[in-house]
Chain A
Amino acid sequence: KAGVTQTPRYLIKTRGQQVTLSCSPISGHRSVSWYQQTPGQGLQFLFEYFSETQRNKGNFPGRFSGRQFSNSRSEMNVSTLELGDSALYLCASSLEAGWEDEKLFFGSGTQLSVL
């Protein structure tokens, strides 16, 4: 079974641009969550989607948005990029949202650099 796939692997953008990142979950997984990882702030939760609905949202500005499609694939979008948005963006999938013991499976991430 294929793992969680994130594309692209690397991305370089300039300030003010927007970017879309993609995440394909493990087949059969219905929940996708996104995280931002930086050396300064560590790993921070962005949002979680289940059955095309946003279930939870972290403490990020409205420039960060996401969506989930009927096949459970998810995209996140960052508009008006800032230098501080440079980070590794990780997505994780799980069978279903709402269970505390459910296991998260992570992709390798998209490394975004904003110049």
Chain B
Amino acid sequence: GEDVEQSLFLSVREGDSSVINCTYTDSSSTYLYWYKQEPGAGLQLLTYIFSNMDMKQDQRLTVLLNKKDKHLSLRIADTQTGDSAIYFCAERVPSGGSYIPTFGRGTSLIVHP
């Protein structure tokens, strides 16, 4: 079955870069996603990458995709305390004429001064 794996915790110092890693299993995934969940809130789509791309940059966020190894990473430059949240990577698997999202368990990013 499909499975998306992430490390559970990451602690960084304010101003440093954060790198959150993810591995996925469905090689047919065309799009891969990163979501952010702040305390007491739902998920917010941060960015996504098309599978024919190796890299996508959006302001402080850089997504790297290694399709051969099915490895996805999210780099946050100049990490701020407001970036403290849980980050989920996700793929969407075809099913029943639609696509079902499969999420990793989430990486809790803790940013300390």
Q: What's the dominant secondary structure at chain B's contact region?
A: strand
B88–A100 CB distance below 8 A: no
> What number of residue pairs across chains A and B have CB atoms under 8 A from each other?
62
Assembled-state Cα–Cα distance A14/B71 (Å): 43
Interface positions, chain B 79-96, Cβ under 8 Å from A, are 88, 92, 94-96
B-contacting residues of A (Cβ < 8 Å)? 4, 33, 35, 42-45, 48, 50, 55-56, 58, 90, 92, 97-101, 103-109
- Is B15 at the interface (CB under 8 A from chain A)? no
A-contacting residues of B (Cβ < 8 Å)? 30-31, 35, 40-45, 48, 50, 88, 92, 94-106
| 6 A-B pairs (CB sep. < 8 Å) | A43-B103, A44-B103, A99-B99, A100-B99, A108-B42, A109-B42
The residue of chain B having its C-beta at the shortest distance from the C-beta of A58 within the complex is B100
Assembled-state Cα–Cα distance A45/B104 (Å): 12
A90 in contact with B104 given A55-B96, A56-B96, A101-B48 (CB within 8 Å): no
